[in-house]
Chains A and B, each alone.
Chain A
């Protein structure tokens, strides 16, 4: 897909100054193989959605109903086209007292979680991600809205990161 530029700088919009960058500096990037994982997921979804929306057209034979599957296909293609950039935009950084996670190109979101606030750390692996030996790290705090995930970490890195985070959380244990 793209070059494995694991330490690529943030995408081009930063130059315009409009995009928020609250903690300037280098981000840890996730594996570029995550692009393939997401594309496979997207492909599966596309097959289901295109076939599903195509059923009314096939059954009724009304010509304009073909718009539905085409629209679904275009939508999936558009998402697929942005996938490499979206994966490259995922970044995380372990600062002294908190973990910062950055995600998204259109809808940008940066979250900072103090280590002491982490209640648990999950590692999830989907079937496709497992084939590429990738894992997703999920952090849970007492606030449901925090919703922090880091997809596309190589398995060894994910486990190392989890152990590191648990250790940090333990050393900065706080109440709720």
Chain B
């Protein structure tokens, strides 16, 4: 089922986006209930182990007919009372009912993709019908949990704005899901003309089933044909590990470990105290270890690249996930640098997005979905910024001669301080509120975005593209008023990026408020990203 239908119809690479109802991968119920089934089988086997052993080696345990296989054992009871057939029949009946339910639920689970909407109908008793408008798509992601990945299946999620509002197509064959994503994005982009020579999915996937699986498992996370290589950013494993180790929690752990060793060295009189320290230290070590392993497993095969339909971010070693964010779906961006990363000039980039994935492991996944660059050098950060905010940073040209527009503004946003032609910073009297960062704390308004620069120790630059500004607020409390200061908040959809800049001179804050409000109106009127390729041929 993983092989595509071959015929490239007018509907695109897969033929599934033709406005008709289609069904998902037949193994869907099995994959959805995958872990539960394995667990049930495990419990059954564990409980019946003695009995299985006894069947094959009858004289080992029960030579006197007593022991575990006494009358209390339900299986023995059934055999003794002559209900064996009834029991087997009941088990068979349950299995049949489950299979029938799976089959019916698979039959009833259908999806349809037209030029306007994506629809999914599911459920047997409680029917659900979910419909998402294509021009409201916030992104398309493909998840491959380890279990599904072994079976060559993938979960396609069409992300729309809102909490838990995603349309899920789970599960589809691997090649099919890639092709379908391309189709959905093409329809959503509003491009009228069919892109000539759409990538033939899974063309080289010949050979036996097992060969294909192995190939898929070992294939690079990012298809090399998909994106120009110069736009791809990757993270070396050493940097990923080092950046995790250089976090505040790691330093705290080292200090705690040092304290424990000190107590040990200082003699046995405080032995009891030592044990307490040890017991508090072990969970911390385990916690940090699992965090480290999770992070490394998650981001080891990280890649970000530009594709015609937006930025594609992929990661995951065992369970993989990749997302495609069409242009204009990123509501704000923060580039930040923890203190310990400064010697290496490493940065991390987070974004606010309108869709929130609440499937999977909840807030942690949501947290990670907002990370666009886990750790990267300044050059990497600039490249990623160029991908997520193409209108702010001109795409890196092949010859690298012309400097990207606004690059120097961003440069100063990351590491600069004091007012200049672009940035306006807090006045000296703001040092009351911003002890160390008053020379850095400030803002800049460029045509495409509002830049908010914060923090001297924990450097951060928050960027809000003007077409994504929802509203602008200016705030002033009594203390700030006595110092003629004020703060401005540029509201965007909720997320990890804070878009607030405080302790500005009141006049500057008023100017920022007026300019940002005006720029937001003007940019929103000219924004065409909901059908990002409608203008093309």
Q: Which residues of A contact B (CB under 8 A)?
A: 13, 17-23, 97-98, 100, 106-114, 116-117, 141-146, 148, 172, 174-176
Collect the chain A residues with CB atoms within 8 Å of residue B365's CB.
none
A112 x B472 contact (CB < 8 A): yes
- Bound Cα distance A151, B530 (Å): 34
A117 to chain B, nearest CB (A): 5
Q: Which of B351-378 contact A (CB under 8 A)?
A: 354
- Bound Cα distance A114, B136 (Å): 19
Collect the chain B residues with CB atoms within 8 Å of residue A110's CB.
473-474, 513
B473 x A111 contact (CB < 8 A): yes
* Chain B interface residue number, banded: 35 or more
B503 to chain A, nearest CB (A): 13
Which residue of B489, B510, B529 contacts A175 across the interface (Cβ within 8 Å)?
B529
- Bound Cα distance A34, B328 (Å): 42
Collect the chain A residues with CB atoms within 8 Å of residue B473's CB.
109-112, 146
- Bound Cα distance A112, B516 (Å): 10
A145 x B475 contact (CB < 8 A): no
**Told that A20-B509, A22-B509 touch, could you supply 20 new A-B pairs with CB distance under 8 A?**
A17-B484, A18-B481, A20-B474, A106-B478, A107-B475, A107-B477, A112-B472, A112-B473, A114-B471, A114-B524, A116-B524, A142-B470, A144-B494, A145-B489, A146-B470, A146-B471, A146-B491, A175-B135, A175-B136, A176-B138
Collect the chain A residues with CB atoms within 8 Å of residue B491's CB.
141, 143, 145-146
Cβ of B225 within 8 Å of any chain A Cβ, yes or no, is no
B477 x A106 contact (CB < 8 A): yes
Collect the chain A residues with CB atoms within 8 Å of residue B494's CB.
143-145
Collect the chain B residues with CB atoms within 8 Å of residue A142's CB.
161, 354, 470, 492-493
B525 x A107 contact (CB < 8 A): no
B524 x A174 contact (CB < 8 A): yes
Can you list 23 pairs linking A and B with CB atoms under 8 Å apart?
A18-B481, A18-B482, A19-B476, A22-B514, A97-B521, A98-B521, A110-B474, A110-B513, A113-B471, A114-B469, A114-B517, A114-B520, A114-B524, A142-B161, A142-B470, A143-B494, A144-B493, A144-B494, A146-B471, A146-B473, A174-B524, A174-B527, A175-B135
Nearest CB to that of A108 among chain B residues? Answer: B476
A107 x B506 contact (CB < 8 A): no
Cβ of B468 within 8 Å of any chain A Cβ, yes or no, is yes
Cβ of B463 within 8 Å of any chain A Cβ, yes or no, is no
Q: Which 4 A-B pairs have the closest CB atoms?
A: A143-B491, A143-B470, A22-B510, A112-B517
